[in-house]
Amino acid sequence: MCRHIAYVGAPLALEELLVRPEHGLYRQSWAPRRQRYGTVNADGFGVGWYAGDDPAPARYRRTGPIWSDPNFADLARVVRTGALLAAVRDATEPGADGEAAAAPFSAGRLLFSHNGAVREWPRSAAPLAERLPARALLGLEARCDSALVWALVLHRLDRGDPAGEAMADTVADVAAAAPGSRLNLLLTDGETITATTWGDTLWFRHTPGRSTVVASEPYDDDAHWREVPDRTLLRADRTDVQLTPLKEPQ
């Protein structure tokens, strides 16, 4: 369910990360190599990026498959950025909420994506929604499982939890309420990347002091890609990558 990618490093054109690589996110929309669930990611796509000194990222999201949007190629060719988060979507419930359900979701400087599915959706939504204040529920951008997971993460961030703790605790809460859920989460503020593996693939490629890419799967066959073990929290920036095992819910 879905493929996503985050990058922090030297400024690049969007196409250099998403379109030009032989197995980039663009191609992963119809021919992923390591996706465990689903085969085509055609239920929407989105890319968020950071520009200059503007504290808030820009987003470009659409309902259909990335290959059907003639404007995306021009956008990807001319826009340069030192940080991005992008995703192609295979929806848990196709057709729901249109582009509002396409990652990345955003708040302030943050961009977020969820690769996976909350088990037994939407029945499992009720016990999870009870953890949120009314304002957060009313502010949900979409009614899909990913939007609710983002609201749970954001609620923890708003109360002051560090990004890694907010992501890990949200994964534990959702996994306890809906066992069997797949919860690969990806978050960036333009300087750091935080991610979880819980039921699907995740890889990273790190060039010390220069850049870090975190993605559902490698976009080329470079030998420097490293697979992240399942049940892991990843925290990274341009200079370092840290991996910490996640605990199973009690």
Catalytic site residues?
A: 2
User: How many C-beta atoms lie closer than 10 Å to residue 31's C-beta?
Assistant: 12
Paired tokens of 197: 């593996």
* H helix runs in the chain, sequence order: 14-18, 25-28, 70-78, 125-129, 134-138, 145-158, 163-177
Estimate to the nearest angstrom the gap between the alpha carbon of 182 and the chain centroid.
Answer: 13
| C-beta of residue 1 within 8 angstroms of C-beta of residue 38 | yes
Q: Give every CB contact of residue 75 below 8 A, 6+ residues apart in sequence.
A: 14, 60
The type of residue at 207 is: T
Q: Is the dihedral of CA 82, 78, 147, 133 positive or negative?
A: positive
Q: State how far the Cα of 6 lies from the Cα of 60, in Å rounded to an integer.
A: 15
Confirm if 177 and 127 have CB atoms less than 8 A apart: yes
Tell me the β-bridge partners of 188: 111, 193
Distance CA 248, CA 250 (A): 6
Contact 142, 162 (CB under 8 A): no
